[in-house]
Chains A and B, each alone.
Chain A
Amino acid sequence: MKNILKLQNVQKYYGNENQLTKAIDNISFSVQEGEFVVIMGASGSGKTTLLNCIATIDTVSSGHIYLEEQDVTELKEQNLAKFRRENLGFIFQDFNLLDTLTIEENIALALTINQKSKEEIEEKVHKIAKELNIENILKQVPYQTSGGQKQRCAAARAIIHEPKLILADEPTGSLDSKNATELLEILNNLNRKHHTTILMVTHDPYSASYANRILFLKDGNLFNEIIRGEKSKQEFYQEILDVISILGGDMGNAI
């Protein structure tokens, strides 16, 4: 299997000479096509910064990030937007749906930005809505729907243009456990059936247990890496908790 994402000695510093904060100290890893990778770490461990750098929203101080063969750190400002809309899909903690648009239109937004034809848009939106079980709320505005439905809509928007990589930033953070499980199942399904590559940031061990592989971050460095392999979810969950306790117990406030 080929590498879809490769990070080489990525560093990210904030501040000036007197006071330097290393948000990412020195991180290298790669993600293979069809993998479901989770980055875990406590608040302030640099996981969101890392995700933003991969998403080209933030820039690295040094090092390289390759998406397939493309070095995104070398991309020019004017090409970034095009790169994002063609290669990446986003899922956010607070859904980030436009409340003036209907659910259907929110999903279609990613496709209109890529200037697809109306036939293609309609077909894809309905197909994906059926898959994510939000067909019956397509005509409603976000305000009329539940949190779970909103996040499924956000997930639909993230995957509808078939990006090479889906970046999810605490996608279950605003959901109750039932809805969270539902969303994770959906992501899992996408990953299994469509071989969609997913990179998810979370501090919730339960969410993390859905992954193929987990990277632990601490103070801007890779601390540990565990692979699920043939383990059951329960075993994997236990393993995650073990690592967290080594890491210093507290993973934030989610447990």
Chain B
Amino acid sequence: MLFKLSLRNAKRQAKDYIIYFCTMVLIIALLFSFTALMFSDDIMQLSQLMKEFKTAIIFVNVFVVIVMGFLMNYIMKFMLAKRSKEFGIYSILGIEKKQISHIYVLENLIIGVIALILGIAIGMLLYQLFTAIIMNLFEQTYAVHMPIKIETILLTIIYFCVIFVLVLYKSNRKIKKTKDYDLLYAERKNENSKLKKKRGNIFVFCVACVLCVIAFFILQQAIKSDGDVNMGAICIAIVLFIVGIYLFYISFSVCLSKFFLENKKRKYQDFNMFLYRNLSFKINTNSITMGTLATLLTITFVGLTIGGVIQEMINLEMEIQYPFEVEIEFEPDVDTTHLEEKIKQEKGFLELFEYTTYEIQEETQISKNLQNIGPYKQYMEYYTETVLKLSDYNHLRKMLGLSEIQLEEGKYILQIVDFAKKYLSEEQIKEVQIGQNNYILQQICTENMGQWYFNGHIYFIVLNDNEIEENLLFQGEMDGKKLVASFSETTSEEFFDSLQQLVEKENRVMEINGEIVSVETDTAYVTTKGNRLMETRTTLTIFSFLLFYIALIFIIISATILAVQQLHDAEKYRKNYDLLKKLGVEKEKIEELLWEQLFIYFLLPVVIPIILGFIIMFPLEQLFITVIDISTILLYFLKVVTMFLVIYMMYLLATYVELRKIIED
């Protein structure tokens, strides 16, 4: 009988928690689908690096389980507070606490198991979707099938049980320990609100702002453009930011009321008084939670943006680094015939070309020019100039499908990576000394011809064949032999492995820290685009999936906490809005007010992360400045925030609809 009664009560309250329930289902679904990915043979066979994916998923899953535990604990506290009167009455009627807590556990278990079953069902669909996306990324066909292993389901259930047992144990103990009086009058406690003192809080507010400004400058100093990153300073900046965010939310409610309610005209205008008193009261009681949410969201925004930018950077570098399918660099005396034969046998082979790059160890006007530019300093320290013969250059151009170029007597061509061009002053490199002669600039080209780390670093110079042959200084021992091959299709990982095995090893005598040691080294350095593509693709897939996973969890948890906070007070809102109705406020106006109140409340923990995140992007730019500029980063940031807001808005709308239903009942 008691259980029946309690179940009915639970059902009545369920609508307040429907959003929480949905979030739980979603988290379980994500947890399940990622666990399934971890156990999936399809995915693991894609690439050798996928093993790393498995480890990463385990770590992230544990993290998600912990976060979910916090969420459940938080919500349980709300539920308990709301039902404590009911439990108090049971207790007064002579039902033992033990029995009451049994009922509570059982109710929650029923809800939990339903969420678990639904979560697993949706998780299976999500898993199919994720697998299809990953397969598509690796250009493999994927037919939907259900190879979900029993381990996946077991592990998900274990995750769930661990959280559930811990959370229930806690609330169970709370029921048993709370006195009847406190159970009966728990609702009243929340009402004891006093207006906070103003002056202290405005001081705290100013401190929060100052802390954030200081943190910003520390961050800017910590990340220098020459690639030095001071980790200690970054940690200090992060701590300052977090403290700043918390202080901001602690003091914010007072500042809000100061702004809107101190000025009498603004106060009595429209419904400002009603709206901002309600808001500042609510923020006041939840300032710590708000601070936590804002911190989480700031981390999410910055993390997602950095992740996206790193992906963009890797993709960009891939493109400029590997214009040819196969690139081999070797010592002049090494025999490469067996390598060449292997390459020629491979499917899709088109053409093979061997040439020499000439290195001079003297600075030219060009490298001096780039040295002064912050981002390229680190690349320029031990720099040698790389020179190509015009005939070799034109052959490479032909292989890449580019038009040949005629070079006039006494002139040179500069082949530079596109993003570095803007740092060059054409005036200063108009005439440069290379070796013993002076040459005049004919033109600057920016097509990808391996000038990023294969033929030179950042750029190479092209001279007429006869200039090089006449100038003996070019016959240095630093000269590199290069071999490139073009293919009609992307080569496989196995092809790279077989080439790698053909590379002969040699023992080289080296001096390391004053000691003479013999080190085994490769005589040739082989890269294939196919292999690198597979590697980066794997890394990027792992990276972006996990990032997306964590971010999504953070976002839905934040939105859920806000939604539950609002729905928790639904009864109170109903009373307030009912009064407004009796005082003669139109229904439309009431709905508008409700929306406004929810909108501002949801917006608050987001505004600071968006502003802070945006500002933080500027010092972070220094990390990527060699390849990517600030506009790309900001664009990425914008994308991240938009994606976030879309999910967030859905929660906001759901809360609004729920609350409106309760209020208009």
Chain A interfacial positions (CB closer than 8 Å to B): 55, 57, 78, 81-86, 88, 90, 96, 98-102, 105, 108-113, 115-118, 121-122, 141, 143-144
Looking at A57, A78, A98, A118, the one whose CB has the most chain B CB atoms below 10 A away is A98
Bound Cα distance from A28 to B103, whole angstroms: 54
Bound Cα distance from A83 to B584, whole angstroms: 7
Whether B193 pairs with A78 at a CB distance below 8 angstroms is: no
Quote the shortest CB–CB distance from B651 to chain A (angstroms): 24
* The 5 A-B residue pairs with the shortest CB-CB distance in the complex, in nearest-first order: A85-B584, A84-B584, A81-B586, A100-B281, A100-B277
**Complex contacts, B179 vs chain A, CB 8 Å:** none
**Complex contacts, B270 vs chain A, CB 8 Å:** 112, 115
Quote the shortest CB–CB distance from B632 to chain A (angstroms): 46
**Complex contacts, B584 vs chain A, CB 8 Å:** 81-86, 88, 113
Partner of B191, one of A86, A109, A121, A143: A143
The digit string for B266-285, where 1 denotes a CB below 8 A from any CB of A, is: 01111101100110110000
The digit string for B575-595, where 1 denotes a CB below 8 A from any CB of A, is: 110011111111101000000
Whether B268 pairs with A116 at a CB distance below 8 angstroms is: yes
**Complex contacts, B281 vs chain A, CB 8 Å:** 100
Whether B191 pairs with A81 at a CB distance below 8 angstroms is: no
Whether A105 pairs with B277 at a CB distance below 8 angstroms is: yes
**Complex contacts, A100 vs chain B, CB 8 Å:** 193, 277-278, 280-281
Quote the shortest CB–CB distance from B572 to chain A (angstroms): 8
**Complex contacts, B585 vs chain A, CB 8 Å:** 81, 85, 113
Whether B273 pairs with A101 at a CB distance below 8 angstroms is: yes
Quote the shortest CB–CB distance from A230 to chain B (angstroms): 37
**Complex contacts, A116 vs chain B, CB 8 Å:** 268
Quote the shortest CB–CB distance from B135 to chain A (angstroms): 55
Bound Cα distance from A121 to B579, whole angstroms: 20
**Complex contacts, B273 vs chain A, CB 8 Å:** 101, 105, 108-109, 112
Does B265 belong to the interface (CB within 8 Å)?
A: yes
**Complex contacts, A82 vs chain B, CB 8 Å:** 584, 586
Quote the shortest CB–CB distance from A171 to chain B (angstroms): 14
Quote the shortest CB–CB distance from A236 to chain B (angstroms): 31
**Complex contacts, A122 vs chain B, CB 8 Å:** 264
Name 10 A/B residue pairs within 8 A (Cβ), A-sorted. A81-B581, A81-B585, A84-B583, A85-B583, A99-B191, A100-B281, A108-B268, A109-B273, A111-B268, A143-B194
Bound Cα distance from A28 to B1, whole angstroms: 49
Nearest A residue to B282 via CB reads A100
Contacts known (A100-B277, A108-B268, A112-B268); A141 close to B579, Cβ less than 8 A: no
Bound Cα distance from A45 to B587, whole angstroms: 30
Chain B interfacial positions (CB closer than 8 Å to A): 191-195, 264-265, 267-271, 273-274, 277-278, 280-281, 575-576, 579-587, 589
Bound Cα distance from A96 to B575, whole angstroms: 8
Quote the shortest CB–CB distance from A142 to chain B (angstroms): 9
**Complex contacts, B191 vs chain A, CB 8 Å:** 99, 143
**Complex contacts, B268 vs chain A, CB 8 Å:** 108, 111-112, 116-118, 121
Bound Cα distance from A212 to B583, whole angstroms: 26
Bound Cα distance from A105 to B103, whole angstroms: 44
Quote the shortest CB–CB distance from A209 to chain B (angstroms): 27
Bound Cα distance from A96 to B264, whole angstroms: 24
**Complex contacts, B583 vs chain A, CB 8 Å:** 84-85, 90, 109-110, 113
Bound Cα distance from A109 to B580, whole angstroms: 9
Bound Cα distance from A123 to B582, whole angstroms: 24
Whether A55 pairs with B582 at a CB distance below 8 angstroms is: yes
Looking at A84, A113, A115, A116, the one whose CB has the most chain B CB atoms below 10 A away is A113
Nearest B residue to A115 via CB reads B270
Nearest B residue to A114 via CB reads B584
Bound Cα distance from A47 to B193, whole angstroms: 36
**Complex contacts, A98 vs chain B, CB 8 Å:** 274, 277, 576, 579
Bound Cα distance from A101 to B195, whole angstroms: 10
Whether A141 pairs with B582 at a CB distance below 8 angstroms is: no
Bound Cα distance from A57 to B584, whole angstroms: 10
Quote the shortest CB–CB distance from B626 to chain A (angstroms): 54
Whether A84 pairs with B582 at a CB distance below 8 angstroms is: yes
Quote the shortest CB–CB distance from B279 to chain A (angstroms): 9
**Complex contacts, B192 vs chain A, CB 8 Å:** 143
Whether B194 pairs with A109 at a CB distance below 8 angstroms is: no
Partner of A57, one of B195, B575, B582: B582
**Complex contacts, B194 vs chain A, CB 8 Å:** 141, 143-144
Nearest B residue to A102 via CB reads B195
Looking at A85, A88, A100, A102, the one whose CB has the most chain B CB atoms below 10 A away is A100
Nearest A residue to B195 via CB reads A141
**Complex contacts, A110 vs chain B, CB 8 Å:** 583
**Complex contacts, B575 vs chain A, CB 8 Å:** 96
Bound Cα distance from A116 to B589, whole angstroms: 17
Nearest B residue to A139 via CB reads B195
Bound Cα distance from A109 to B281, whole angstroms: 17
Whether B193 pairs with A99 at a CB distance below 8 angstroms is: yes
Bound Cα distance from A57 to B581, whole angstroms: 9
Looking at B192, B582, B583, the one whose CB has the most chain A CB atoms below 10 A away is B583
> What 18 additional pairs, Cβ within 8 angstroms, besides A112-B271, A141-B193?
A84-B584, A85-B584, A88-B584, A98-B277, A98-B576, A99-B193, A100-B281, A101-B277, A108-B273, A112-B268, A112-B273, A113-B580, A113-B583, A118-B269, A121-B268, A141-B194, A143-B193, A144-B194
Bound Cα distance from A101 to B270, whole angstroms: 15
Quote the shortest CB–CB distance from A167 to chain B (angstroms): 9
